[in-house]
Structures are given as structure tokens and as C-alpha cells.
Amino acid sequence: MNIDDLFIAADPDGVQRERLKAKELKRSPWWKGQLGRGRCHYCGVGCHPGELTMDHVTPLIRGGKTSKSNCVPACMTCNQEKRHLSTIQWQSHLEQKKLALSALAAASPPAPDRAEPQG
Ligand SMILES: [Zn+2]
């Protein structure tokens, strides 16, 4: 891969072309296999295949392409939170989210073993 490929400014026609390619890729057995795993690529949450969306790791608007190496299944939450963030910005967002969640877990009392309400 040419390093310059990473820094192409996205032109609207190119983005439109890549969106059409994404539509085709969504019909491929490869993509159906990705959905069949039933897991978000980013947060690892288990999802019904119908709830997973195709996410471009490098967003189209940032010059990303529709290719097997750039498309991953993502849950709605991750897809909405990621939007047009670059890979680096998104990684940093995910790390902060994990830290916040673990801080929250550490601050809360341990969950009771039984789900039944205490009388
Ligand atoms: Zn997710």
C-alpha cells in the first residue's frame, strides 16, 4: 500500500462511489459471514445480525475505502459515537470509555449474587 493513500482528501464523487460499493459489499457472502458472528468489532457486545451496521474503520469522508480490510460490523451505539472520528480519535474515545466504566465498576458495591429482591 502507498502511504499517500491514507491522506487522500475525500471528494464527494469518490465518497458516493464508495457508498455504492458498500451497498454491493453488504450483499456479499463475506459480509453475511461478518454479521453472522453477531458481535460488534469495537465494543465486543453481542448483537443480533440485524442490529449490526457496516462501519468504515477509516471513514469515507476521510478518504477511507469500501474494502474488506476497512469494513467491520459495529453496533448502533458504536457507529453513532464514532461517526467521522479518525481511527486515532476513536481509539482514544474507546479507551476513555473503558476507563470510565471500570472506574464506575470500582466505585459501586459488588453486585449481589441473587437477583431476587431482599424482603
Ligand atoms: Zn459496539
* Cα 37 to averaged position of ligand 1 atoms, centre (Å): 13
Describe the crossing of helices 29-36 and 12-26 by its angle, rounded to 10 degrees.
70
For the chain, which domains are there? Answer: 3-96 (1.10.30.50)
pTM, two decimals, is: 0.74
Task: Compute the distance from residue 73 Cα to the ligand 1 centre, in Å.
Answer: 9
pLDDT in 10s for each residue of the chain, 119 residues: 444 444 556 889 999 999 999 999 999 999 999 999 999 999 999 999 999 999 999 989 888 999 999 999 999 999 999 988 888 899 999 999 888 888 988 887 666 665 555 56
84, 58 Cβ separation under 8 angstroms? no
